[in-house]
């Protein structure tokens, strides 16, 4: 299995980590949805659509259970 390479810069990785942590520790579904929208917008702005597509694919696999 070949892992995707997203080429995220160190400065960008700090922001990605912050956004992902916000999602992970969301206390409510509304807070999760707000964090999800913020992360989606960040990826769109920073042209990281491949990263977000990977995140969304894997997010959907655990949310469906």
Q: What is the distance between the alpha carbons of residues 64 and 24, in angstroms, rounded to a whole number?
A: 16
- 10 Å CB burial of residue 56 (0-12, 13-18, 19+) is middle
Angle at 39 between CA 24 and CA 58, to 5 degrees: 60
pLDDT for residue 63: 57
Taking only the tens of pLDDT, the chain with its 65 residues reads 676 666 777 777 888 889 989 988 999 999 999 999 999 999 999 888 888 888 888 876 655 55
CA distance 19 to 1: 27
Model pLDDT, residue 1:
64
């Amino acid at each position: 299995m070949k892992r995707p390479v997203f080429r995220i810069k160190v400065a960008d990785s700090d922001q990605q980590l912050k956004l992902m942590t916000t999602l992970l520790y969301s206390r409510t579904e509304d807070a999760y949805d707000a964090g999800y929208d913020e992360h989606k917008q960040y990826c769109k702005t920073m042209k990281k659509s491949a990263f977000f597509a990977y995140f969304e694919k894997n997010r959907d696999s655990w949310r469906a259970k």
